[in-house]
Amino acid sequence: MIARTGTLAIAILLAVPTEALAARKDDAALSAEARPLARVLSETAEVRSGPGFSFRVIGVMQRDDVVRMVERGKRGGWTRVQLESGIVGWVLSEQILVFAAGSTEPEKVGPFRRAGRKLREKLLGPPNLLTARIGGTMSAGALGREGLFLVRPSVFISPNAAIEAYLGPSVGRDANRGIFGIGGNLFVSPAIPFSLFVALGTGAVYTKGKVDTLADARWTYLLSPGGGFWIIFKRNVGIRFDFRNHVLFRADDAQSLQEYSGALAFTF
């Protein structure tokens, strides 16, 4: 009898944590959908990366837009909200009005939208270009028929624009090149984790012939128009692809070389 009672007690003790963990997991799964809903009252409402006017604007809402509240206004009259695009930011509490509690009922969405949400949740990260201050890439690829490796540090002056420097070697069969320059990138869609961009840079190239060639070392000017696209994954890391036309020119000569490169990209 005592043995049976002890076995039952142990089974109950083991079952309680398991049930508690399961309940906690279910609550976490429902927490996003259970958040209160709020409607925008003002004509426009700026969403900022932090609770204050000194933080960067990362989105703009219009009157009657509906958002989910993440954290009620406990920081000087600011409330943290989540937009339909997945952006999470801060808005003035006086610009929104809570009109409904969250619902635990599953939202009815189409298969394509559901697949997009799953992809964004499992693979893609938040649109970090909206809040990025600095970033960079380590690019490797081809310049004409030569190998290319460039380091590209950048400073973001807005979600749509960044100033970027580039530095690195290009190794060819007949000559080696050192590339130095600075330029600007304009991002088309920083509010989503996939953004096209256009770029324009200028700089200089130092070309030195190899031992078995008769070419002299020389400097040339550089003009680099082009563009590409940036895909953002989790933890502020992504991949970027650049397609550019590098024009090397002097007073008496000009040469055009195409760049095709891929890069590990990051933002902070």
Pair 141, 248 in one domain? yes
249 and 187 housed in the same domain: yes
* Dihedral angle, C-alpha 66, 71, 76, 78, nearest 10 °: -20
Pull the structure tokens for residue 154: 């950048």
40/69 Cα distance (integer angstroms): 12
Residues 189 and 252 in one domain: yes
| CA-based end-to-end distance of the chain | 64
Q: How many domains would you assign to the chain?
A: 2
Residue 12: the pLDDT is: 41
Both 142 and 86 in one domain: the answer is no
Residue 15 lies in a domain: no
CA nearest neighbour of 82 among 59, 101, 53: 59
- Single out the residue in 71, 105, 139 at which a domain terminates: 105
Spatial contact of 48 and 18, defined as CB atoms under 8 Å apart: no
**Per-residue pLDDT reduced to its tens digit, 82-116:** 887 778 889 998 899 887 665 444 455 567 666 76
The backbone torsions φ and ψ at residue 103, rounded to the nearest 5 degrees and listed phi first, read: -115, 140
Looking at the fold, whether 95 and 156 belong to one and the same domain comes out as: no
Burial of 240 (C-beta count, 10 Å sphere; 0-12/13-18/19+): buried
**Residues 190-241: tens digit of each pLDDT:** 878 889 999 999 999 999 887 666 667 899 999 999 999 999 887 789 999 9
The sign of the CA dihedral 9, 15, 19, 25 is positive
Task: Look up the CATH number of the domain holding residue 238.
Answer: 2.40.160.20
- Which parts of the chain fold into alpha helices (H)? 2-34, 111-122
User: Distance between CA atoms of 48 and 68, rounded to whole angstroms?
Assistant: 15
Residues 83 and 149 in one domain: no
Locate tokens 């933890």: which residue?
235
Does 1 map to a domain? Answer: no
Q: Which domain holds residue 49?
A: 34-105
